[in-house]
Amino acid sequence: MPSTKKPSEKKSTKRPASVPVFQSVKGMSDVLPKEEGWWKAFHEAGMRTAELHDFHLIETPILEPADLFEKGVGASTDIVEKQMYTFRTKGGDRVALRPEGTASVMRAYLEHHLGYFASPLKVFYEGPMFRYERPQAGRERQFHQWGFEVIGDGDPVYDAEVILATMALFKELKSGPLVVKINSIGCKVCRASYREKLKNYYRAREKKLCKDCTRRLEKNPFRLMDCEEEDCKALREEAPIILDYLCQSCNTHFKSVLELVEENGIPYEPDPYLVRGLDYYNRTVFEVWSPSAGSALAGGGRYDYLAEILMGRLVPAVGAAIGIERAISFLKGAMPTPPRKEPVRVFFAAVGDQAKKASLRRMEELRRAGVPVVEALGKRSLKGQLKVADRLKVPLALILGQKEVFEGSVIVRDMVTGAQETALLDRFVEVVKKRLR
């Protein structure tokens, strides 16, 4: 338990005595019990969606070789240039806290030859990601993502399926209207000529660019498209768009994705300026936006070259990642309570040593029968315990005293009316279940 500073008698200019010595690292938050309902709702919606869409769990370590991301995500991306937590282990290995999940999943796919077991492989993951960004609303240094990946097939049907699964998860959460912004960023062939056009356009206007964009212009001109500086944003309005440069095959692929998305009733908006901040994307890129939230709740796309970059293998793939904190904060704005939270309906009270001893076993019997139980056994008096039951608004309380232990019974109390009955301990689980129906 973190220690706290003792109150000092002298007036100090330092930290007030009530502030604990230890606080979480800047940009990294605790998920507290009061948030439980939202996190559980998200997790349950994710699991349900994964099951319905046939995605299977994959869990990769939080630490990976640093060059997995340097190579995979791209050396000239913001993530690698500025945001990675990288360090050397005592054994001298250079490792990084993962800034995103896709490169790790592809590493695992190649390492364990997962393509032999399923083609395509459809997986989901859930866990913390780390990026050294300037903390602000909706942007943390540790945040959580839920991801869907389909690895081993380039068919546009899988681009659509990833988009559908992402939207289905939000639907499961009853999120309200969301829109998919979508674009194609082409392939190695068509992107090269667009890249030159873009460079020429920006070179002619270099003086107006921000420092970052001037630096990125030669190495990665696509990144200029998602710069947030006002002058760069204004220049973007007139910039050439990739859709005019797509090759035949990328064009057909993109059209098929749009058709499938439309056929499935997903609201979408083509956004010719959407490029996404990671190098590994090709063809389809998309983000999920809410008309009210000012930021993306999820993002993804196709990454057919990632396996080639990592291990020289050609493995087409497509995926998406949902920012869980952002999704939850968006839901909180849209509804007063989490979409589904089963309230606990039974309180167990025990008075006296014998009763207390017996109570753990009796509560287990209820839990094994699928009945969630709460208690306040640390409080000695019945009054104190029932006060907690009142506060929790639990409708049914079970009371075990010395007399009941001796007789092999338990009192079942209706907390709303105060009416009580006695049930035999041999069949009290049935009685409780009947009362809860």
In order, the DSSP letters of 206-233 are GGGS-HHHHHHHHH-GGGGGG--SHHHH
Cβ atoms within 10 Å, residue 301: 28
Strands of 43-157, DSSP E = 56-57, 63-65, 86-88, 94-97, 121-130, 142-151
Number of chain residues interacting with ligand AMP (CB under 6 A): 17
**Binds ligand AMP by CB under 6 A, chosen from 98, 302, 326, 413:** 326
Check residue 145 for interaction with ligand AMP (CB under 6 A).
Answer: yes
Which residue number is nearest to ligand AMP in terms of Cβ? Answer: 323
Check residue 321 for interaction with ligand AMP (CB under 6 A).
Answer: yes
In the complex, least distance from residue 136 CB atom to ligand AMP, rounded to whole angstroms: 9
**Binds ligand AMP by CB under 6 A, chosen from 140, 172, 304, 404:** 140
Question: Measured from the CB atom, is 296 or 310 closer to ligand AMP?
Answer: 296
Check residue 296 for interaction with ligand AMP (CB under 6 A).
Answer: yes
**146, 42 in Cβ contact below 8 A?**
yes
**Binds ligand AMP by CB under 6 A, chosen from 299, 319, 395, 401:** 299
Check residue 323 for interaction with ligand AMP (CB under 6 A).
Answer: yes
In order, the DSSP letters of 165-188 are HHHHHHHHTT----EEEEEE---H
Check residue 133 for interaction with ligand AMP (CB under 6 A).
Answer: yes
Distance between CA atoms of residues 20 and 103, nearest Å: 38
> Residue type for 24, please?
S
In the complex, least distance from residue 113 CB atom to ligand AMP, rounded to whole angstroms: 26
**Binds ligand AMP by CB under 6 A, chosen from 224, 298, 351, 366:** 298
In the complex, least distance from residue 262 CB atom to ligand AMP, rounded to whole angstroms: 22
Distance between CA atoms of residues 28 and 102, nearest Å: 22
DSSP classification of residue 1: -
Question: Measured from the CB atom, is 177 or 372 closer to ligand AMP?
Answer: 177
Q: Which two tokens stand for residue 269?
A: 């908006």
**Binds ligand AMP by CB under 6 A, chosen from 64, 78, 100, 161:** 100
DSSP classification of residue 32: P
Binding site for ligand AMP (CB under 6 A): 100, 131, 133, 138-140, 143, 145, 277, 296-299, 321, 323, 325-326
